[in-house]
Amino acid sequence: MIETVINLQRKKQLEKLIQSVDIEFSDFELLDEAFTHKSYSNESKGKKDNERLEYLGDSILGLITSEYLFKRFLDYDEGKLSKIKAKVISESALFQIAYTLGLGSYLLLGKGERDTGGAERKSNLANLLEAFIAAIYLDQGIESARNFIICYIKDIIDDLDKNILIKDYKTILQEFCQKKFKVLPEYRLTSENGPDHNKQFKVTIFINGKEYYSGMGKSKSKAEQSAARDTLCKLNVVKL
């Protein structure tokens, strides 16, 4: 028989949780289920674990993240949007959100799982966050789930967007040159200094034979990215 009632102490714990994340919640049995690991369910006959909620939460997280990226980055193609999304919904990113919120301290675990650090295990916390998202959705609706998700993924997306842009400077410059000048940029290695373990490379960009900017780096690739970035700035393609 499935347990349908949680005790007063547990309810007070969960009330503290929802206050800490500033959301409303009505069905505390559902919330308790979201915070019940399979190991605890196995030791407590009839108690539901959070795996079904995790399944639902994964889909909700994917949908809302996709929608947010689609509306925010109007000029990004499918490849770049997918690249950001994959990072945002990765186990590492979800773990970091759950850990920051302290969700692990509310997770019900079996003795063995608890004694081996299950409350801080990356996979447990990532799965827990997805189950929590599903519970918010079922109890409060899609708008509450959306607000909760965006609140915690926005900063991650901001950082990822900057990093992905940095990685794509060469691609951006290539596409710009093909469209504007009908040629590809040329990267020339103009100097190489330092010992083998600490080389410094200097790469200079030429477009249609005209010299633009040079970039320095500990590898040719990093020097090329640096040169591409500065050239894009000179051409007013990007602003830093």
First and final C-alpha spacing in the chain = 61
Given 33, 130, 139, 224, the catalytic residue: 130
Could you give the CA distance from residue 164 to residue 156 in angstroms, rounded to a whole number?
12
24 is catalytic: no
Could you give the CA distance from residue 47 to residue 40 in angstroms, rounded to a whole number?
8
Given 32, 58, 113, 224, the catalytic residue: 58
Supply the DSSP string of the chain, one letter for each residue. Answer: -------HHHHHHHHHHHHHTT-----HHHHHHHTB-HHHHHHSTT---SHHHHHHHHHHHHHHHHHHHHHH-TT--HHHHHHHHHHHTSHHHHHHHHHHHTGGGG-B--HHHHHTTGGG-HHHHHHHHHHHHHHHHHHH-HHHHHHHHHHHHHHHHHHHHHHHHHHTHHHHHHHHHHHHTSS--EEEEEEEES-GGG-EEEEEEEETTEEEEEEEESSHHHHHHHHHHHHHHHTTS---
Question: How many CB atoms lie under 10 A from the CB of residue 86?
Answer: 12
58 is catalytic: yes
**Annotated active-site positions, please?**
58, 130
